[in-house]
Amino acid sequence: MADNTVYDVAKKAKVSIATVSRVLNSSGKVNEATRKRVLSAIDSLGFVPKAEAAARARKASGRIGVLAPFFTYPSFVERLQGVASSLTDSPYELVVYNVDSSARRDTYLSSLAVTRRLDGLIVMALPFDDVMARRLIAHKLETVLIEAGRPQFSSVEIDDEAGGRIAAEYLLEKGHRRCAFVGDKDLPDYAIHPSEWRLAGYRKALQGAGVPLTDDYIALAPHGLESARQLTHRLLDLPEPPTAIFAPSDVQAMGILKAARERGLSVPDQLAIIGFDDLEMSDYIGLTTVRQPLKESGRVAVELLLARLADRSRPVQHVRLPLTIIKRQTA
């Protein structure tokens, strides 16, 4: 197995050596069917690139990778801050890979597993299939997951459905009976969809209290401040507008708040608003929100990863972080 070369991979996959190289280097210039054929050949031959095999024998490369979608979203930025701060005094360099498609996700996961340019990998909010999981394990790339757990890997998660329930219970406690939701649609297929789970928890809690969440009160659009603002105006135009709105992110909640101000509504007296995340900026605008420990999730992921790198016999761990309602001025 160790004697296999790039030529053997190319021959088995019926492609050129240049194509194998492009797959190994995460190039986007390989079509999906060819990429899968090359990876299948690599898996069956147990191929490891020679330079990387030598580096493995010599010493660790001193690099931790983070694979993340939406890496410009404030919530992901805060998670990355938690990762970066935990690696400050470690011997590891942080490398961030932005994922903007299923193909990009799979290309990175496959090539990083095979080439071993990294000592460890943190995967944020990106589900992947069993084939990919087996490849990461077979090539011994220590991996920790955030928000998308698998039994074979250590993970850091929250209960998104419980987060929706917490928001609903808080609004019900405040006496609201016309509760709406402003969330996401047209979500990419390469990432998890927490908006749906938060909506499910919100709906169940409202229904359990005899307060139906009608279709009129559910407004969905692609994620963003402006789309949330526009959806809120639509809700406020209803014959019986909602008295409270829950958003599955603080960014969307800020769009709702802007619409309320444009209408001259008193918040929270005429419209209560709850977000989700508790971003740093949320405190400055007085946003009531469901807090998830974003920076802590990054820090815990690093701790789990470094523990496994120090002792690979350690069992995998699944950490569930708590959610809490942060009461401020908007609800």
- For the chain, the structural domain boundaries read 1-47, 55-158+302-321, 160-291
Q: Which pLDDT score, from 0 to 100, does residue 155 have? A: 97
- pLDDT by residue for the chain (331 residues), tens digit each? 446 777 787 788 788 777 877 777 666 677 878 878 878 777 777 776 765 554 554 455 589 999 998 877 899 999 999 999 999 988 899 999 999 888 888 888 888 888 777 899 999 999 999 988 998 998 889 999 999 889 999 999 999 999 999 999 999 999 999 999 999 998 888 888 899 999 999 999 999 999 999 999 999 999 999 999 999 999 999 999 999 999 999 999 999 999 999 999 999 999 999 999 999 999 999 999 999 999 999 999 999 999 999 998 999 999 999 999 999 999 9
The CATH superfamily assigned to 55-158+302-321 is Response regulator (3.40.50.2300)
Helix crossing, 32-45 with 17-24: angle to 10°?
90
Q: Which pLDDT score, from 0 to 100, does residue 59 have? A: 53
User: Which tokens sit at 319?
Assistant: 């950490």
CA-nearest of 110, 149, 76 to 304 is: 149
CA-nearest of 267, 268, 222 to 249 is: 222
CA-nearest of 143, 198, 207, 137 to 179 is: 207
In order of 112, 257, 263, the CA distances from 219 in angstroms are 39, 15, 18
Q: Are 129 and 189 in contact (CB under 8 A)?
A: no
What is the distance between the terminal CA atoms of the chain, rounded to a whole angstrom? Answer: 63
Task: Give the separation between CA 41 and CA 46, rounded to whole angstroms.
Answer: 8
Q: Are 128 and 137 in contact (CB under 8 A)?
A: no
Angle subtended at Cα 211 by Cα 205 and Cα 212, rounded to the nearest 5 degrees: 90
Same fold, 55-158+302-321 and 160-291: yes
CA-nearest of 256, 294, 279 to 326 is: 279
Residue type, 38: V
Q: Which pLDDT score, from 0 to 100, does residue 16 have? A: 79
Instruction: Domain 1-47: state its class.
Output: mainly alpha
Looking up tokens 């609800």 gives 331
| 325 phi/psi in degrees, rounded to 5 | -85, 130
Fold classification of 160-291 (topology level): Rossmann fold (3.40.50)
